[in-house]
Amino acid sequence: MSSQPDPPPFQEKDELHQFASFLTRQREQITERWMEEVKRSPKVESANPLDYHELADHLPKLFQDLADGLDSKGVFEEETHDDAESHGRHRWQQDYSLGELLRELGIVRHMILVHGLDAFEDGSASLSRAGRRRIRECILRFFEETAAASTEQFVAEQHQQLQVMNSRLQEAGRSLKAVNDRLNEADASRLLLLRTVSHELRNTLDALNGAVMVLGLDGIEDAERQKMFMICHRNLTDMGQLLRELTDYAMLLDKQPPVNVEEFSPALLCDELTAAFRPVAEVEGMTFEAYSHPALQEIRSDRLKIKQVLTNLITNAIKYRKPGAAAPGRIKLAFLPARSAGQWEMSVEDDGIGIAPEHLETIFEEFQRVAPERAKIQGAGLGLAITKRLIGLLGGGISVTSEVDQGSCFKVDLPKSLAG
Ligand code: ADP
């Protein structure tokens, strides 16, 4: 809006000034007329739901800019440009289409060119031909500039909204992908569950079937019968264990099981576990040591869940013993006060086959077994996943240190007193 027209001679200057004063005086009436014309036009439908104030709010300012421009002999200031942009922004916010914005400006331009000039001449001396032409030129230039600046602003607003919508669309796309990935993961994990469980069941059933067939043979010796009986017993125990793990796992997946807080003595729990597991360990040629620190008196937590955690860890310590080792295997269970106040620690240590460093992270995930050398040891890879979830429910954490062929040590940190 800074291009400078040729300066007009004196008479035209005076006429421009008079018309400018006329516009300033009449700007409220002209604004009202603008509103009427726009509301009447079927081509600017978006104006209909708006009230006078909403539509006309900034318009007197635009008329003032036109009047000021005429007064400055057709030089429109930067402010005119800003007001035109603000007009574009207003109409964008009022849901106009670009066509409606331009049509509205066309209606007003026509109104001022025809009715405005007529009204001015009706009320004062007639304009000279040159003066009239100069005023018309100024009005046309004003509306050209206003249409350009408000259109630019309108399009910029549109562009900005498109960018916002685009980023929302991308965000929605990302969420959709995440949902899809989760569904795929769920599918994959269901498939893995089916594969693992059917594999375990087939192995156990094959072993059972073989042993039962031998037991049915005529003339089978006592020692052989005893051996087959042991095979049946062990495989039935494995099936029972698998079933228990599946039930526990299903329960943990379905909903958070309640935590039943009670006060108990860790020393008594230690004795209970020793009574249950020392005989099993000894059958496998292992020793079982247990220690509960005297400073640990009462614990407030879910005793049964803690027992289940320790049962899983001790069962693994027995399962993953070193086969055919010269010296008897050793399991140590210990309950100790932890370094941080309010915590206590349980550990299960063995001198079994150990775990390679690359598997230490994954063993706590569902169905993660360290294959293939342990494929012969029964298991679905659920025990540690269940253990970790149970410990999480009790507000604790589990960690492991291990060395292949040297043994493993699982440590569980728990709060001494759980609320509830
Ligand atoms: P599972 O014993 O049914 O395979 P777990 O979740 O209890 O499932 O254990 C996951 C894996 O971690 C096991 O397959 C085994 O390789 C390894 N593991 C767990 N405990 C021990 C342990 N005490 N010594 C050696 N390896 C172990």
Q: What is the pLDDT along the chain (420 residues), one digit of tens a residue?
A: 445 566 666 677 788 999 999 988 888 888 888 888 888 888 899 988 888 888 887 888 888 899 999 988 778 888 899 999 999 999 999 999 999 999 999 998 998 998 888 888 887 768 888 889 999 999 999 999 999 999 999 999 999 999 999 999 999 999 999 999 988 888 887 787 788 788 788 888 988 999 999 998 888 899 999 999 999 998 898 888 888 888 888 877 777 788 899 999 999 999 999 999 999 999 889 999 999 999 998 999 999 999 999 999 999 999 999 887 777 899 999 999 998 889 999 999 999 999 999 999 889 987 777 765 555 677 777 889 889 989 999 999 999 999 999 999 999 999 999 987
Cα–Cα distance between 70 and 76 in angstroms, integer?
8
E strands along 140-268, which residues?
262-264
310: number of Cβ within 10 Å? 24
Sign of CA dihedral 5, 9, 14, 15: negative
pLDDT at residue 373, rounded to an integer: 55
Cα–Cα distance between 335 and 317 in angstroms, integer?
17
pLDDT at residue 192, rounded to an integer: 78
What's the predicted TM-score (pTM) here? 0.58
Q: Are 79 and 65 a contacting pair, CB within 8 Å?
A: yes
Residues 6+ apart with CB under 8 A from 135: 15, 16, 19, 70, 117, 127
Q: Which of 169, 176, 142, 158 is nearest to 70 (CA)?
A: 142
Give the three-state DSSP class for 299: strand
* Nearest atom (ligand 1) to Cα of 382: 6
CA of 358 to the centre of ligand 1 (A): 14
Q: Which of 192, 320, 349, 391 to mutate to test the pocket of ligand 1 (most atoms within 8 A of CB)?
A: 320
Q: Which of 142, 146, 32, 166 is nearest to 90 (CA)?
A: 146
Q: Which of 316, 322, 387, 388 to mutate to test the pocket of ligand 1 (most atoms within 8 A of CB)?
A: 316
pLDDT at residue 144, rounded to an integer: 94
CB 318 less than 6 A from any atom of ligand 1: no
User: φ and ψ at 401, to 5 degrees?
Assistant: -125, 140
Structure tokens given for 320: 């993953």
CB 241 less than 6 A from any atom of ligand 1: no
pLDDT at residue 274, rounded to an integer: 95
Report the Cα 165 to chain-centroid distance in Å.
19
pLDDT at residue 325, rounded to an integer: 72
CA of 378 to the centre of ligand 1 (A): 10
